[in-house]
Structure 1
Amino acid sequence: MTCDITLFVNPTAGRGRGARAAQPAAAALRAAGHSVRTVLGTDADDAVDRAREAVRAGTGALVAVGGDGMVSLALRAVAGTDVPLGVVAVGTGNDFARAHGLPVRDPAAAGRAAAAALKEHGGRPVDLGRAGERWFGTVLASGFDSRVNDRGNRLRWPAGRFRYDVALLAELAALRPVPYRIGLDGAPPEEVEATLVAVGNGPSYGGGMRICAGARCDDGLFDITVVGPCSRRTLLRVFPRVYRGTHLTHPAVTVHRVRSVTLEAAGITAYADGEPLGPLPLTAETVPGAVRLLVP
């Protein structure tokens, strides 16, 4: 079966890789017999509006070309519809693509994978998280990690990812536990102190940090990772283990598997798929099979 496919492109993803990736991805899709059109936006809201227009017009698939931020925008257009989502992962982190075994920084291979999935099954249902009107595919972060993001976004110097290294050091110097109220699956909230709380629909964020290492995108459950109060020395010692997921055995770490969670904490901004979501409090829930994903 062939169809009209919409490429949803972030030209600035991965320091310009998004723009360069669109062409080989489109070529692979055309080689499989599909017609391809490209959607760009003047900003995030305009891009989402254009993607939604393509979905309403009956596009055969929406293929996000960029990083996790672009996937997050694409989810706003396709979640809860019958239009499948493809991913050409050429961003910085690419955690969503990695979680689903999709090619990373190989746009031609990603285009071929999307075309093959369209031919074989038309998209497999996978879970998403939802907080209010926002969907997310990987991790909702709050606490220490979101404070690093907040500070990094405020800095004007240095440029690029070095801003977040500076922000990390500054937040380490100011490290303190956050008083949370956490409600799991509708139960009355419990008061806990935590360094961070991460809500995982998928296992990783930040380009491979497996903060919710056991999370799966097809079980209808979140993995909630709660890192309790800890010293700077403990955090620095445990931090490298996040890339392997072995931090989950540390005594300061607790994991819950639930369908919904309510988080309350003063002065904390939540981030989902690496993008600012808004201040706490919020409630997040899993939505099984919320999107059809073009995966092998």
Structure 2
Amino acid sequence: MTSEITLFVNPTAGRGRGAHAAQPAAAALRASGFSVRTVIGEDAGDALRRARAAVDGGTGALIAVGGDGMANLALQAVAGTRTPLGVIAVGTGNDFARALGLPVRAPAAAGALVADALKGARVRDVDLGRVGETWFGTVLASGFDSRVNDRGNRMRRPTGRFKYDLAMVAELAAFKPIPYRLTLDGGAVREIEATLVAVGNGSSYGGGMRICAGADMSDGLFDITVVGACGRGTLLTVFPRVYKGTHLDHPKVTVHRAAKVELAAADVTGYADGERLGALPLTARCVPAAVRVLAP
């Protein structure tokens, strides 16, 4: 493995934590004898081009510094290659890092862990989801939660997470169950009404909401959580339980496992790793051992 390592940095992640986090992470790597170069793109497209060039050029590892959006962008560069991925998680959600058991908002500790893993050649293969040519590591969200994202993304004010809280209140007031067509592993089409359908490679989204609490990133299968048709009162009862994963016991919630999921519904957007994929219908496939990660 080459001693040159690439830091793939989002300087604006976590309200500026990305820029600050790159320094202790790089210091930990250099202290372990690695040569570190930093990639910062002018925008997402430029950053991805630079990351792919580093991978194609034989970098020893690509280390994403930022949040779930940056980890997702890094996946587009390393998935399907032998280049290992490290994550210095300093964003708002950090669900991909949590799923891998990595430190969150502790860049020096995360950098030291990455350095130790590289020195010991300790890497492991984990599954990824794929929709078309786009990879994702955690959860593909659709339904109530994706409509909250849609509304929040349209709002100019307020800024930060508070606007998504307001968007949730607004969506809750207007929400009606959504007719879905769900197909698992090419079987029969299931016509259902649901509040949301979440396709989990990892267990959580939204900064620790364990919507697919039983998901295993090494079993070659998605966990698909379906929250059935329910009223606002039931939704308000179920939703807080998502943080502990105890919502899975609720009678309105069912869980399926499949390697391929086809989702169709009118006027519903899909988001994966918090990034917009596009309108349904979408087909997601679980790809076993799609990426090498520097993680315990």
User: Is 2:189 the partner of 1:189?
Assistant: yes
| 2:15 match | 15
CA offsets, 1:253-285, max 9 Å, x none? 010011110000011110000010111101101
Map 1:219-258 onto structure 2 (within 5 A): 219-258=219-258
| 1:61 match | 61
Aligned equivalents of 2:273 and 2:263: distance in 1?
17
User: Is 2:156 the partner of 1:166?
Assistant: no
| 1:97 match | 97
CA offsets, 1:25-58, max 9 Å, x none? 0000001100000001111111111100000000
Deviation at 1:180, TM superposition (A): 0.5
CA offsets, 1:53-110, max 9 Å, x none? 0000000000000000000000000000000000000000100111111011011111
| 2:276 match | 276
Name the SS of the counterpart of 1:195 in structure 2: strand
Q: Would you say the 8 A contact 2:263–2:280 is kept in 1?
A: yes
Name the SS of the counterpart of 1:210 in structure 2: coil
Aligned equivalents of 2:160 and 2:60: distance in 1?
36
Aligned equivalents of 2:228 and 2:145: distance in 1?
13
Deviation at 1:158, TM superposition (A): 1.1
Deviation at 1:2, TM superposition (A): 5.8
Aligned equivalents of 1:2 and 1:75: distance in 2?
20
% identical equivalent positions: 74
Aligned equivalents of 1:189 and 1:45: distance in 2?
37
Name the SS of the counterpart of 2:271 in structure 1: strand
Aligned equivalents of 2:3 and 2:182: distance in 1?
46
Name the SS of the counterpart of 2:152 in structure 1: helix
Structure 1 unaligned regions, length at least 5: none
One-letter code aligned to 1:224:
I
| 2:218 match | 218
| 2:137 match | 137
- Segments of 4+ in structure 1 off by > 3 A? none
Deviation at 1:201, TM superposition (A): 0.2
Q: How many residues align?
A: 296
Aligned equivalents of 1:24 and 1:88: distance in 2?
10
Cα root mean square deviation, aligned: 0.8
| 2:35 match | 35
Deviation at 1:188, TM superposition (A): 2.7
Q: Would you say the 8 A contact 1:2–1:33 is kept in 2?
A: no
TM-score (norm: length of structure 1):
0.99
Greater alpha carbon shift after TM alignment, 42-51 vs 115-124: 115-124
